[in-house]
């Protein structure tokens, strides 16, 4: 049986008894903590833990068992032996399959919570059946889970990388640059515009690196690498408070392993450490 999470709109006909329950209190997920591991509540229904969900939806299967995403009210106490924990902090603590399911659950629970009414006429919406969509009960308009694409870019200049500190980052943490795609833009155009707006420099050789769903609350991060072409670093001091070039041996504090930002920076570190090793051998 596969460990991976398989998303699906329609419940299985002959699902085995028992289900995984992804219960969210805002961005916090209900888990049982045992030493260094966390597990997702598993059972027939939520009532065995004395929980009542505000809204619930089917997510797909994990290890062959049904998965449900549930939203509970802000004042809901965690059942004995369990806790509501920020999803980000469960990276590396939850196993890979349950973590992937939890990321999907968070996105869909938030979508469910924010799409109760039609954006066109204001009437109530309901689940649209076969698709992951909501249908307006009055005008029939369909709406789908919102996914907001954003680019995230690592820029190299010889043996250095451009890292910046955004005003929202914790003191001393630096990362690669990122920004949301605007209507009418290709991803490559977003890369060039964001880098120019945030740092004043021009880049070339923009290459796709990989992507990552980022449900905080609904992004898809699309990673790129690029090379410095021209210009001097100029920052606005508001959104970006510091930006400069770093060598592989003098990196500042960087983001945690969960993010594609970190995967980009690790790619840079590995490449330049390997190059150094060869040149000193």
Beta carbons of 137 and 126 less than 8 angstroms apart: yes
Closest contact distance (angstroms) between CB of 144 and Zn ion is 14
Contact region for Zn ion (CB under 5 A) — 65-73, 97-105, 139-147, 148-156?
Answer: 139-147
- Would you say 90 or 118 has its CB closer to Zn ion? 118
- Would you say 67 or 136 has its CB closer to Zn ion? 136
* Strand duo 19-25 + 65-71: pairing: parallel
Phi, psi of 137 (to 5 degrees): -75, -15
Contact region for Zn ion (CB under 5 A) — 141-149, 181-189, 192-200, 249-257?
Answer: 141-149
Closest contact distance (angstroms) between CB of 111 and Zn ion is 17
- Would you say 97 or 145 has its CB closer to Zn ion? 145
- Would you say 89 or 137 has its CB closer to Zn ion? 137
Q: Which helix (H) or strand (E) holds 21?
A: strand 19-25
- Would you say 48 or 146 has its CB closer to Zn ion? 146
Cα 213 to Cα 169: distance, rounded to the nearest angstrom: 20
Q: Kindly state the greatest CA–CA separation across the chain.
A: 72
Q: Which helix (H) or strand (E) holds 7?
A: strand 5-7
Closest contact distance (angstroms) between CB of 149 and Zn ion is 26
- Would you say 72 or 136 has its CB closer to Zn ion? 136
Closest contact distance (angstroms) between CB of 133 and Zn ion is 13
Closest CA to 22 of 112, 142, 92: 112
Selected from 141, 150, 187, 269, the binder of Zn ion by CB under 5 A is 141
> Which of the 8 DSSP states describes residue 202?
E
Query: Quick one: CA torsion of 123, 127, 128, 133, rounded to 10 degrees?
Result: 90
- Would you say 121 or 202 has its CB closer to Zn ion? 121
Closest contact distance (angstroms) between CB of 13 and Zn ion is 32
> Which of the 8 DSSP states describes residue 87?
G
DSSP string computed for 28-80? EEEEEEETTEEE--EES-GGGGT---SEEEEEEEETTEEEEEEE--TTPPPPT
Is the torsion defined by CA of 253, 254, 258, 263 positive or negative? negative
Binding to Zn ion (CB under 5 A): which residues in 98-137? Answer: 118, 120-121, 123, 136
Closest contact distance (angstroms) between CB of 130 and Zn ion is 20
Closest contact distance (angstroms) between CB of 246 and Zn ion is 51
Binding to Zn ion (CB under 5 A): which residues in 44-103? Answer: none
Contact residues for Zn ion, defined by CB under 5 A: 118, 120-121, 123, 136, 138-139, 141
């Amino acid at each position: 049986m596969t460990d991976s999470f398989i998303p699906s709109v329609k419940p299985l006909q002959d699902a085995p008894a028992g289900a995984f329950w992804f219960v969210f209190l805002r961005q916090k997920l209900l888990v049982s903590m045992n030493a260094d591991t966390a597990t997702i509540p598993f059972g027939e229904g939520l009532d065995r833990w004395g929980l009542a969900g505000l809204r619930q939806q089917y997510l797909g299967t994990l290890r062959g068992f049904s998965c449900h995403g549930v939203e509970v009210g802000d004042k809901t106490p965690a059942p004995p032996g369990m806790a509501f924990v920020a999803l980000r902090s469960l990276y590396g603590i939850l196993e890979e399959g349950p973590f992937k399911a939890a990321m999907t659950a968070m996105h869909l629970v938030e979508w469910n919570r924010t799409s109760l009414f039609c954006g066109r006429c204001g009437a109530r919406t309901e689940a649209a059946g076969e698709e992951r969509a909501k249908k307006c009960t009055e005008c029939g308009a369909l709406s789908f889970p919102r996914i907001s694409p954003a680019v995230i870019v690592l820029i190299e200049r010889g043996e250095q990388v451009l890292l910046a500190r955004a005003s929202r980052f914790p003191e001393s943490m630096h990362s690669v640059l990122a920004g949301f795609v605007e209507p009418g833009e290709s991803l490559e155009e977003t890369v060039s515009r964001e880098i120019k707006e945030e740092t004043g420099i021009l880049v070339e050789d923009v290459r796709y690196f990989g992507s990552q769903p980022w449900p905080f609350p609904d992004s898809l991060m699309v990673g790129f690498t690029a090379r410095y072409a021209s210009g001097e670093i100029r920052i606005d001091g508001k959104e970006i408070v510091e930006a400069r070039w770093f060598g592989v041996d003098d990196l500042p504090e960087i983001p945690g392993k969960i993010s594609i930002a970190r995967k980009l920076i690790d790619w840079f570190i590995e490449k330049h450490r390997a190059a150094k090793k060869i040149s000193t051998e």
